Amino acid sequence: MKEMLKFKEPLKALSLFCNVGIAESYFKEIGVDVKVANELLPERAKFYSHLYPDVNMINGDITDHNIFQKVISAAKRSKVDFVMATPPCQGMSCAGRKDPKDPRNILVYYAIEAIKIIKPKFALIENVPMQQHTKINYKGKDVFIPEYVEAELGDSYTFNTERVVNAADFGVPQSRKRYIYLMARKDQNLIWNFPKKEKHQITAQEAIGHLPSLDPLLREESERWRFPDYEKKKKAGLKISKWHYATKQSWKLVELMMHTPSGKSAFLNDHFFPKKNGRRVKGAPRTYMRMFWDKPATTIMQNSDVISAFINVHPGRVVVDSDDDRERIYSDARTLSIYELIILSSLPTNWNIPEWADEKLIRQVIGEGIPPLLIKKAIESLIKEYQSC
């Protein structure tokens, strides 16, 4: 039996920019006890409190002095010795505008200030890889974010050597690259690094290939006759999970994807391609695209229910095989179900989603959340180092 890695004495944590607590999904089983959390958006703070009712959730804008002080005071009272910060990444993300002036880019200031004041034994800060190429103002100069972090904390903390990691290298069936600082206070006499990469990346086939096929729910009622088995398939899906169902889509887009093979974009079709007024339109080559079966899922985004967005469509299976896209047919011409997103994000399959949460919110928070298995394995690596000291 594999050894259970867990802190003997719970590590008391503060979670900043916590979303709904996706990163914390496996904390209890490895001995991390979140005492205080901060989230800006009320709906997400409520979702977090549903998942973690014992955590002191401070809902509000951390850039507000009163909120910041409230967070710091609560963390000090709880004797927090681990700070985790996952600031919003939209200003730096390849899927966003990559705007160097986006005010969200400087939210890292507040994470660094919290660490300087609280002086925890350990800290974790994560963001997109573009963080290393993004500049912010520091003492009157524009410097790259890593330069700022190391200038502020380098005297007190050691840093991990490899900071750009792909979740797919650590057992997550999703390719998602992040820039992550793992920091240990120097008096702990250890360097906290990620474990070795795993030899095998889990594919979409291995992760969700066993799930029942689903037909899309067509937005146009007059076209629903095209999928006579929709209700039957929906019923089979709901037997697996209440979250394994297909969302509404327009027939125009569904038709394109029915004729598109696994791992391909509808832009490559000769006849069933994106068009406007009957004419082929231009677009990014990885939109209107199915995922691959034999690779980890691509990075899950907030708009995971949009067929025309970045590789959001189920891989599908051959129904009619042909090199002619007018004849070939593939199943599952739809975006992924929430249950499939849960699995591909390495969330627990029994993730306790509140009844009041709507699908848009659920998809948004999953798309913004860091895969919790990646965080768990990073902390398990710390536990090994900590127990060997």
CB 37 within 8 A of CB 14: yes
Residue 277 burial (CB < 10 Å; 0-12/13-18/19+)?
A: exposed
CB 122 within 8 A of CB 185: yes
The residue assigned the tokens 């895969």 is 371
94 is catalytic: no
**Whether the predicted pLDDT of 100 surpasses 60:** no
Average pLDDT of the residues in 351-359 = 98
**Which one of 18, 89, 94, 389 is the catalytic residue?**
89
Looking at residue 2, its pLDDT comes to: 61
- Which is more confident, 141 or 258? 258
Record the tokens describing residue 178, joined without a space: 């992040």
Average pLDDT of the residues in 366-387 = 95
CB 25 within 8 A of CB 372: yes
**Whether the predicted pLDDT of 91 surpasses 60:** no
**Whether the predicted pLDDT of 93 surpasses 70:** no
**Whether the predicted pLDDT of 147 surpasses 80:** yes
Q: Of the ranges 46-50, 133-137, 256-260, 339-343, which one carries the lowest mean pLDDT score?
A: 133-137
Q: How far apart are the first and last CA of the chain?
A: 24
The residue assigned the tokens 């691959």 is 292
**Whether the predicted pLDDT of 104 surpasses 70:** no
Looking at residue 141, its pLDDT comes to: 87
At residue 389 the predicted structure's pLDDT band, cuts being 50, 70 and 90, is low
Q: What is the pLDDT of residues 302-330, one digit of tens each?
A: 999 999 999 999 999 999 999 999 999 99
Secondary structure class of 327 (helix, strand, coil): coil
DSSP 183-209: EEEGGG-----PPPPPS-PPPHHHHHT
CB 91 within 8 A of CB 20: no
Mean of pLDDT over the chain: 93
Tally of residues, the chain: 389
Q: Which residues are within 8 A (CB) of 240 and not within 5 positions of it... i.e. 6 or more apart? A: 211, 212, 339
Rg, Å, the chain Cα set? 22
Q: Of the ranges 155-159, 170-174, 282-286, which one carries the lowest mean pLDDT score?
A: 282-286
Looking at residue 368, its pLDDT comes to: 94
Taking alpha carbons only, the member of 2, 9, 1, 101 closest to residue 387 is 9
The residue assigned the tokens 């979702």 is 47
Looking at residue 117, its pLDDT comes to: 98
DSSP label of 77: H
Q: What is the pLDDT of residues 61-81, one digit of tens each?
A: 999 999 999 999 999 999 999
Residue 22 burial (CB < 10 Å; 0-12/13-18/19+)?
A: buried
At residue 3 the predicted structure's pLDDT band, cuts being 50, 70 and 90, is low
Distance, CA of 34 to CA of 74 (rounded, Å): 12
Record the tokens describing residue 27, joined without a space: 């904390």
Domains in the chain with CATH codes: 11-201+370-388 (3.40.50.150), 212-336 (no CATH)
**Whether the predicted pLDDT of 357 surpasses 90:** yes
**Whether the predicted pLDDT of 107 surpasses 80:** yes
Q: What is the pLDDT of residues 178-226, one digit of tens each?
A: 999 999 999 999 999 999 999 999 999 999 999 999 999 999 999 999 9
Looking at residue 327, its pLDDT comes to: 97
- Which is more confident, 183 or 108? 183
CB 154 within 8 A of CB 166: no
Q: Are strands 279-280 and 275-276 parallel, antiparallel or unpaired?
A: antiparallel
**Whether the predicted pLDDT of 269 surpasses 60:** yes
**Whether the predicted pLDDT of 173 surpasses 60:** yes
The residues with which 300 forms a beta bridge, in sequence order, are: none
